[in-house]
Structure 1
């Protein structure tokens, strides 16, 4: 268990540093404006603008994954991540490799770098009422441009999945809202969108009729979403969505036992698998909170002091890793069978 906690600490460290820097409002200074203007805008025609090596022969596989990595950038002096900085690129590439390892050899992977919001500013905007996403706009626009480039130059009509976690999930939800309207031909190619670690609300569904939440294990063209908590967790910004249980793929409160967990996966600092544990946890939805509540024996071991008590945000993907992989393959197979 101590080994597992060290692994989680390595994953959580960038976020811990962000909170250690303080969450006070930071004024927009002339230096910050210059830093924003100096940040390299990715050119998605260039391979280096992608966090996972582009497929050499994409026609060899029938389905693509367009993936957006979560927040990896912490720097109080800079509002957005500059992907020209090798160390920052490496962070994005490392977690992209970890999260998309489940798709290798099965789907083509397209994972853009982007000028994501610095964590301090992201939280400041998300905590505001109403929420202020202006700090995230450069990164969101990059992901929109990357997706347009992908559809025009790299997709060639193949079905695709969308997937993102945390800030990456917000970007995926933004794509669904703004780049895939109800009359979009590309919407017909959507196998499913995994919006993991960010709530998709009733208000979202009312405002954007193209958003349809998953109702089971194999429906297609749908949004698949959850946020992970321990029993009795305090309220957080991750509450309030419409969730599905990633262990039994139900939308009611019927619990899934630990035996339904195909395997949690944790990684070493170099991105290789350090630990894989089938039966890691079971869990059930809390429909009032819109969250996935897991039944770990000692959930406090997976908490972090900078999140409210009981919030297990960093486990959204890792706790259910093999279930996500299996489910993506099933939805893709269903989609391909319906197409033919």
Structure 2
């Protein structure tokens, strides 16, 4: 009996190793098989000009009420007395520094104005049934609301937050070289652009704006910056563009955007971006895809440095200890709730432009291969992102 059991264990180990080796060798092919639609691309009809007048086309906007996911405010996790004393000391130091700055600039510092946020959520449609998510797809909508709750909520000090529903490209669109993938992304952008135009038309002409998104949402925002914002009257109202979780080449992309990378914590009209990996990091597949992609200037991105904003400091590059982390949003198992944990992870931009966060934190089961914390790019630095946007809005107001 014991011998049979050992044979069984040995067979299981062999099957596991063979399966693991097969996955490592063919994971791209397996992912494509699982996620890329086999159907022909069916062109989506353009949104009607007034489609985004309908409140149902937004996850959040003025008047949504108590079920507004972007207005969620997580609580801080309980702390030990030692941690409480340390935080109190840090808050006191920050308050004294802020008071000193306020006294120095008292005469010219205006009241911080209201501001509005246009937020584009990442991919929540994984089906192979369509190249673009149908509006109202139950599972895609459920996941999208979780994303809005966790990623748009750091901007909840805004007077208005506008995350649109849009027919975003399915996950498989990014895993194929076939033209249908590009067509699906193009169709998704058309919806985002239409929603953005309605967002602008709903604001007072002097309202400062923030653009924010993640992953596919950031990809669309980068195009929006180039085609709709750059050179337009609204460019002077741009506080910042938080295009997170999508690699941006400093050499081949940033100059074409018309907006610089944020170099200081209070700079406005600039771009912030980061892509998070725990250590040891294996970003080989991300780097390979990035290197072979074409930049906004028409050249291959190659080995050019990726834009890395350190979310703990608000500046380009550099490093910061975990003590500078004001609060990581640690989700529960459902990913629909969570609590803030202070000093959970550090942040360091490496020479490639990836954001390294030290040892892998326990945030859930959605960590990608290679210690890629893509899904958690914003939650890792929830409270710092909130502090960052408030600081830049204040700076924008002070400059006027």
TM bracket, shorter-chain basis = 0.7 to 0.9
Q: CA separation of 1:154/1:82 partners in 2, compared to 1, >3 Å: closer, same or farther?
A: farther
Q: Give the aligned partner of residue 378 of structure 2.
A: 317
The separation in 1 between residues aligned to 2:205 and 2:194, in whole angstroms, is 17
1:158-307 alignment runs, 5 A limit: 158-181=207-230, 183-201=231-249, 202-208=251-257, 210-234=258-282, 235-237=284-286, 240-253=305-318, 255-268=319-332, 273-287=337-351, 289-296=352-359, 298=360, 307=368
1:135 maps onto 2:184 in alignment: yes
Alignment-derived partner of residue 159 in structure 2: 107
Find the counterpart in structure 1 of residue 98 from structure 2. Answer: none
Which runs of 5 or more residues in structure 2 are unaligned?
1-27, 66-111, 291-304
2: distance between equivalents of 1:95 and 1:231? 25
- 2:197 aligns with 148
Report the Cα distance in structure 1 between the residues aligned to 2:264 and 2:229, rounded to whole angstroms.
22
| Pairwise CA distance, 1:196 | 0.5
**Residues 245 and 292 in structure 1, CA contact (< 8 A), matched pair in contact too:** yes
Q: CA RMSD in A?
A: 3.2
Match of residue 127 from structure 2: 75
* Distance change (3 Å), C-alpha of 1:300 and 1:39: farther
What's the CA shift for 1:89?
A: 2.8
2:398 to 319, 337, 340: 337
CA contact (8 A) 1:64 1:109 kept: yes
Tell me, in whole angstroms, the C-alpha distance in 2 between the residues paired with 1:56 and 1:275.
24
For structure 1, the 5+ residue unaligned runs are 1-18
Tell me, in whole angstroms, the C-alpha distance in 1 between the residues paired with 2:342 and 2:390.
19
Q: For residues 255 and 61 of structure 2, what CA distance do their matches in structure 1 show? A: 37
Deviation, 1:120, is 1.2
Distance 1:123 1:44, change over 3 A: same
Closer/same/farther in 2, CA of residues 39 and 71 from structure 1, 3 Å limit: farther
Matched-pair contact (CA < 8 Å) for 2:126–2:171: yes
Tell me how far 1:174 sits from its aligned partner.
1.3
Give the C-alpha shift of residue 191 in structure 1. Answer: 0.1
Relative to structure 1, the CA distance from residue 84 to residue 261 in structure 2 (aligned partners, 3 Å threshold; closer, same or farther) is same
Residue in 2 that maps onto 1:29: 39
Please report the TM-score for the alignment, with normalisation by the length of structure 1.
0.80
Task: Report how far residue 304 of structure 1 moved.
Answer: 5.5
Distance 1:301 1:333 in 2: 32
Deviation at 1:21, TM superposition (A): 7.4
Distance 1:203 1:322 in 2: 31
Of structures 1 and 2, the larger Rg is shown by 2
Cα separation, 1, equivalents of 2:363 and 2:150: 22
- Preserved contact between residue 264 and residue 280 of structure 1 (Cα < 8 Å): yes
Question: Given that residues 73 and 119 in structure 1 are in contact (C-alpha distance below 8 angstroms), is that contact kept between their aligned partners in structure 2?
Answer: yes
Measure the CA separation in 1 of the matches of 2:272 and 2:310: 9
Alpha-carbon distance change, 101 to 294 in structure 1, aligned in 2, over 3 angstroms: same
* CA separation of 1:229 and 1:271: change in aligned 2, threshold 3 A: closer
Count of residues in correspondence between the two structures: 308
